Amino acid sequence: MNLGEIKEYLKQHENKELCRFITCGSVDDGQSTLIGRMLYDSQSLFEDQIKTLKKDSQKNKNLGGGEQLDFALLVDGLASEREQGITIDVAYRFFTTQKRKFIIADTPGHEQYTRNMATGASNADIAILLIDARKGVLTQTKRHSYIVSLLGIKQFIIAINKMDLVDFKQEVFKQITKDYKAILPSLQNYEDIKIHFVPICAIDGDNITSKSANMLWYSGETLSTLLDTLPITTNTNQDFIMSVQYVNRPHLNFRGFCGNIASGSVSIGDEIIVLPSLKTSKIKEIITPNIKELRPSKDSKIQSSKNASFPSAITLTLEDEIDISRGDIITAKNVEIPISNAFKAMIVWMSEIPLNLHENYLIKIANLTTNVTFSQIDFKKDINTFEEYPAQTLELNDIAKCTLNLSKKTTLEIYKKNKTLGSFIVIDRYSNETLAAGMIEEILDAKSENRIYTQAERELNAYIRKNYPEWECKKI
């Protein structure tokens, strides 16, 4: 292949649509095996990877494994994952077809690692939920389905795996399909979700890239065809919104505001407004990563693009000198975005440290980090029955709706409208551990500024609550 052919090949792949998807399910449902099989069938593996796979599979065979290639070994990279035969961390893999480029997130099925699954699902366009044909719909299947629906993924592929272990019976497929449809009304925004059921055998490749001769009763599309054709929602037609990540000030003659476009597009000359300060200006220049000189010297001329759109990373310069800091929002002038310090959100608690309603935490929304308190837990979700019940704390893997108050007013948006401004993480202010992830569902009227207590005041208040509850109204 000469240089011209290489450039043409790269150009073809550069212009393909990018699709992100996750695989999730319960323990040992076959997520890693499915991804390994897809990488193998799409010819995305190098010769040395195939040789290593055959060698490692032979080791497993000698230890009592089957005759086939163990495709899970292509994805499970940690030694502990290979030893236990489970996925612990999120593994990202890449492959391409004639129509699309794919980024795959192989997420863990074990309940202990649900937080890793939520992380992998946060940027996905499609969710493949695997169900073991022998076990049917399990509690972890419900938990993953609910989290995926919370994160706004609208395309679900329910892959009923290991059909070879139930003799490829259509009755088993129909029963699991019926059982899964029964939980749909309990998911978030289920009216917007599109469900596709596919019976597969990941280890043998049945209904992965080609139709299975063992399941002639199935008339639907293969898994690969669905991934190539399902529509992907984008933010290109929405209003321009960008959260400032970094203020680039290499010298006195240049001041740019860097960040990723959260939605919409922007052009030179567009009128913008900065939130929450409400200062206005116009776009002077748009510098994109394809410009060689991202940190121009004092005497150099800046090359700029005429426009940019979601999800580009850009640097903007403005016609006016405005005080803009990390975490501020630059948006089109006619866009109305709420500014408040109180909201209700769905929370996925991701830490073994339980929630303390009397504690102060840090919250990171887009590129802004500030203080936050939980004023109340509206309800906690029973993931098995989907019932709601009261609670005073949250523990690992709990899902709940909570009311939160920020220490200052900031730009907020409902998650369904904008993922960047509507999602956040809660951080322990001392250990810097990520405690929870959240999606804003309702923005409340702004409250008076929240006071952040000192450590001594918090300890005194805790002592009063414990030993003198009748003094609660007199606490500091």
pLDDT tens per residue across span 82-107: 444 444 456 778 888 888 888 888 77
Confidence (pLDDT) at 111: 63
Residue 75, amino acid? V
> 287 lies in a domain?
yes
> 468 lies in a domain?
no
Domain stops at, among 229, 250, 275: 229
The answer on pLDDT for 300 being more than 90 is no
> 12 lies in a domain?
yes
The string of pLDDT tens digits covering residues 34-51 is: 888 888 777 766 566 667
Confidence of residue 246 (pLDDT cuts 50, 70, 90): very high
The string of pLDDT tens digits covering residues 17-34 is: 888 888 888 877 778 788
> 428 lies in a domain?
yes
> 473 lies in a domain?
no
> 236 lies in a domain?
no
> 470 lies in a domain?
no
Query: Do 184 and 151 have their domain in common?
Result: yes
When mean pLDDT is compared across 92-106, 243-257, 407-421, the lowest value belongs to 92-106
Query: Do 150 and 274 have their domain in common?
Result: no
> 234 lies in a domain?
no
Confidence (pLDDT) at 474: 43
Residue 189 is classified by DSSP as T
Query: Do 310 and 366 have their domain in common?
Result: no
The answer on pLDDT for 318 being more than 90 is yes
Q: Write out the residue range of the structural domain in which residue 355 sits.
A: 339-458
The string of pLDDT tens digits covering residues 112-160 is: 666 777 777 778 899 999 999 999 999 888 988 998 898 889 999 999 9
Tell me the two tokens of residue 389.
Answer: 């019940």
The string of pLDDT tens digits covering residues 204-226 is: 889 998 899 999 999 999 999 99
The answer on pLDDT for 392 being more than 50 is yes
CATH number at residue 30: 3.40.50.300
Give the total number of structural domains in the chain: 3
Q: Are 240 and 335 in contact (CB under 8 A)?
A: yes
Query: Do 291 and 347 have their domain in common?
Result: no
Starting at the edge strand found earlier in the chain, the sheet holding 155-161 runs 91-96, 100-106, 17-25, 126-132, 155-161, 194-199
Greatest alpha-carbon pair distance for the chain in Å reads 83
Confidence (pLDDT) at 78: 40
Query: Do 189 and 264 have their domain in common?
Result: no
Query: Do 202 and 346 have their domain in common?
Result: no
Separation CA 17–CA 255 (nearest Å): 33
Q: Are 298 and 206 in contact (CB under 8 A)?
A: no
CA 304 to chain centre: 31
Domain stops at, among 295, 313, 332: 332
Confidence of residue 362 (pLDDT cuts 50, 70, 90): very high
Tell me the two tokens of residue 64.
Answer: 């009592």
Confidence (pLDDT) at 348: 92
Q: Among 38, 22, 24, 13, which residue's Cα sits nearest to residue 130?
A: 24
CA 322 to chain centre: 33
Domain stops at, among 201, 229, 257: 229
Separation CA 457–CA 460 (nearest Å): 5
The answer on pLDDT for 407 being more than 80 is yes
Query: Do 85 and 136 have their domain in common?
Result: yes
Confidence (pLDDT) at 85: 44
CATH number at residue 426: 2.40.30.10
Query: Do 50 and 71 have their domain in common?
Result: yes
Where is 339: in which H helix or E strand? strand 339-349
Backbone torsions φ then ψ of 150, nearest 5 degrees: -60, -40
Radius of gyration for the alpha carbons in the chain, expressed in angstroms and rounded: 25
The answer on pLDDT for 305 being more than 90 is no
Query: Do 277 and 364 have their domain in common?
Result: no
Query: Do 270 and 380 have their domain in common?
Result: no
Mean pLDDT of the region 240-248? 92
- Tell me what the pLDDT averaged over the chain comes to: 82
The answer on pLDDT for 277 being more than 50 is yes
Query: Do 284 and 309 have their domain in common?
Result: yes
Query: Do 182 and 246 have their domain in common?
Result: no
Output 171-179 pairs: Cβ under 8 A, ≥24 positions apart: 172/133, 173/133, 173/197, 173/199, 173/218, 175/136, 176/131, 176/133, 176/136, 176/137, 179/136, 179/137
